[in-house]
Structure 1
């Protein structure tokens, strides 16, 4: 049996790669014995991880590998501070890198300047690697300005130098990796995601309190200056001349460096836009189902593959994407491509009008999108390609699965253990009769789990139980 060290963020680490790994690991565990390495001090909120894997702090990887070498080490690298311990471990011990973002500039700025205080070294490295232009960009970044040109200086060379192989989710990233380090073993592994449930649109809108007849546009995920909000809002303003009932939902957290509400107010769209902030998984799925048209726009790109986009496509929603980076690799008919140029707002408006006026076109696009994800982005397929690449690079020969089914079913609600514990606390206290399937209970339990609360935090759960009981009593009394 092959032994793998798997270094990745997991929940509650604030990274989309946390969800990615928690969905992939039960499928990789079919093939190998896995030790999961996480940031020092992080306590995973998914109880299944500790049930099926040994979990170790990333600072112990060196010692563990010296005492009993792993057959392979997998490092997940992305452009966020959640990968700090992983990057440091990679500098000490080479291994296979799953490169989620080709551009790691923002991560390296955080590591060198904010964490280590090496401002002069950052300046010197930017000049050495990228010349006068790099030096100019460095000065802008140090002043708190983040120009689009920062995406032209990837700062991923140190990662590639320590990588014994690179896995990526797009040809866009692999081509750039090969240009920087010819001869490095690479493989394309389409990102795997669970196929989302098909939730009836009217039921989702009823649960969310949204009007049944309105034309609803929605964007999902962390909102930052690169998510093309202003062009989308300009299109919404013009769309409302034709469809006064058009409404735009921004579902996800907002970057502290971006005044999204100010942009909405400046364009006079306060009554037409709802910013939900972070929502738990169950509410996220309802918002997806409630949307008539989804917008997944971003430019410039760090080379990332959007898991949120795949979830939208998998849910069968007609979706607009920016024609840049990995998004251009989507097959025709799966999503509408919007060029990030002077025609951007006009194209968004034209696509929205077409999809609103032609429900048959919207339905066909949604069906093609779901079929594409079901065919090309399975978790089983992703795990198999991981192992095929490891076998090739490490010289293992054939690697066969040790069992027929994944270690657990990721399509089940991921926080059901915490959810059931909350229900049990309520039941034991005889304070309420909220059923396990209650949307309120599911939403609260999901939010608690994402904040790091577990079954052991009884004081917190009892407080929540009392609050839910008071809410139910208030609702029953009208």
Structure 2
């Protein structure tokens, strides 16, 4: 079997790409012999992964490749500091890039500020790719004047330039890559997510001590202005005029730069809105099961494909999404698309009224959602897409599965050490060696902006 180096964050790195990779690896391992390549400070916590795969540090990849060349190297690139050393390696040792986010601005700023300790290199990139306008934006960023403009300056160009070939999970990303490198080999590979057993709404509500009969809205993930939460809450306030017992549950952490409490007070929503903060995996799934209607908004977009959205659809939930970027590619009978315009609030409220009143319509939408993920976004289908890309770009015969999945993702054991837990929390607070206060503050603010 061909040997493939797979460079990615894994748990305990708190990134959706960590979960994505750990779920994909056992299926991709049916086709090739994988070596997992992790960041220098990361000690994987997935016990099955530790038992089944050889693991090396990214700093050792070049030496290992020189001594015994890999047949292919895959780099996962996303818009977070977790990919900084992978970007550093890609510059000297090109490979296949899996571009999870089209906007990599946060990664590039953090890399310049913290890895290189040279913010001037960030300015130079902005000047090189976007001329005077880029230089002006860079100066504003350094002064902490962050805004939506960063979404128009993706800084993914240098990563695309280094790719030997590229995998994306959406046409949206591929359409933006193609003009930059028309001859680059690319593939559209579906994002794979595990399909859990059909959820039991009543049992979930009992476990969470939620009323059985009331309408429940829910949104999942980090809460910030770009998730359109304010517009959803305004629509929810209208919905409550007809259904005063309705509840909206916000499941996830709240950005420090977002005054959610003031917003709830202004809308006079009181205890009808529940903010859970971070919840563990089991409770996350219970909240998904308990919900009647989910809202997944975004504007502007970093061009990401949302694994959390696919998990909601796989659970058979009725979901409203912003009609933007990758979300627009979802079929109209699977999600309800909400244009980001002056009618946004009214349309969210109207969709909610119709879906709650028309049980047959809501159930049909739930059935379509689960079928869509089953047929289009399974983990075996994702692994097949990777295998086909590898065969094509490397000139190999078509890869076929040679064995069963390397492990059962439903039986994963996670082991956390005290040191890992403390280190992870310290990293969340921005406590790093050789702290550069101004640059870290800039990077932290941008992280809140883009996550």
Q: TM-score surpassing 0.5? A: yes
Q: Measure, in 1, the Cα distance between the counterparts of 2:419 and 2:194.
A: 22
Is the 1:12–1:450 contact (alpha carbons within 8 Å) kept by the matching residues of 2?
A: no
Distance 1:253 1:112, change over 3 A: same
Is the 2:48–2:412 contact (alpha carbons within 8 Å) kept by the matching residues of 1?
A: no
TM-aligned CA deviation for residue 322 of structure 1: 0.5
Q: Measure, in 2, the Cα distance between the counterparts of 1:58 and 1:115.
A: 14
Cross-structure match for 1:248 = 248
Cross-structure match for 2:405 = 406
Structure 1 residue runs of 5 or longer lacking an equivalent are 419-447, 454-478
Cross-structure match for 2:123 = 123
**TM-score, with normalisation over the residues of structure 1?**
0.85
Q: Measure, in 2, the Cα distance between the counterparts of 1:271 and 1:133.
A: 46
Q: Measure, in 2, the Cα distance between the counterparts of 1:368 and 1:326.
A: 19
Is the 1:45–1:450 contact (alpha carbons within 8 Å) kept by the matching residues of 2?
A: no
Instruction: Name the SS for the 2:238 alignment partner.
Output: helix
Q: How do residues 290-305 of structure 1 correspond to structure 2 at under 5 angstroms?
A: 290-305=290-305
Structure 2 residue runs of 5 or longer lacking an equivalent are 422-451
Instruction: Name the SS for the 1:248 alignment partner.
Output: strand
Q: Describe the superposition over 1:158-185 as per-residue Cα deviations: whole angstroms up to 9, x where unpaired.
A: 1111100000000000010111211111
The answer to whether 1:47 aligns with 2:80 is: no
Instruction: Name the SS for the 1:382 alignment partner.
Output: helix
The answer to whether 1:365 aligns with 2:365 is: yes
Q: Measure, in 2, the Cα distance between the counterparts of 1:29 and 1:319.
A: 33
TM-aligned CA deviation for residue 413 of structure 1: 4.9
Q: Measure, in 1, the Cα distance between the counterparts of 2:256 and 2:394.
A: 43
Instruction: Name the SS for the 1:179 alignment partner.
Output: coil
Q: Measure, in 2, the Cα distance between the counterparts of 1:451 and 1:218.
A: 34
Q: How do residues 196-215 of structure 1 correspond to structure 2 at under 5 angstroms?
A: 196-215=196-215
Distance 1:187 1:137, change over 3 A: same
Q: Measure, in 1, the Cα distance between the counterparts of 2:254 and 2:90.
A: 31
Q: How do residues 356-435 of structure 1 correspond to structure 2 at under 5 angstroms?
A: 356-403=356-403, 405-410=404-409, 412-415=410-413
RMSD: 1.7
Q: Describe the superposition over 1:252-272 as per-residue Cα deviations: whole angstroms up to 9, x where unpaired.
A: 222333333333233322312
Instruction: Name the SS for the 1:301 alignment partner.
Output: coil
TM-aligned CA deviation for residue 215 of structure 1: 1.1
Is the 1:11–1:450 contact (alpha carbons within 8 Å) kept by the matching residues of 2?
A: no
Is the 1:100–1:168 contact (alpha carbons within 8 Å) kept by the matching residues of 2?
A: yes
Between the two proteins, the alignment pairs up a number of residues equal to: 421
Instruction: Name the SS for the 2:164 alignment partner.
Output: strand
Cross-structure match for 2:10 = 10
The answer to whether 1:181 aligns with 2:178 is: no
Q: How do residues 208-223 of structure 1 correspond to structure 2 at under 5 angstroms?
A: 208-223=208-223
**TM-score, with normalisation over the residues of structure 2?**
0.90
Distance 1:296 1:449, change over 3 A: farther
Instruction: Name the SS for the 2:82 alignment partner.
Output: helix
The answer to whether 1:84 aligns with 2:87 is: no
Is the 1:137–1:147 contact (alpha carbons within 8 Å) kept by the matching residues of 2?
A: no
Q: Measure, in 1, the Cα distance between the counterparts of 2:65 and 2:257.
A: 40
Is the 1:4–1:34 contact (alpha carbons within 8 Å) kept by the matching residues of 2?
A: yes
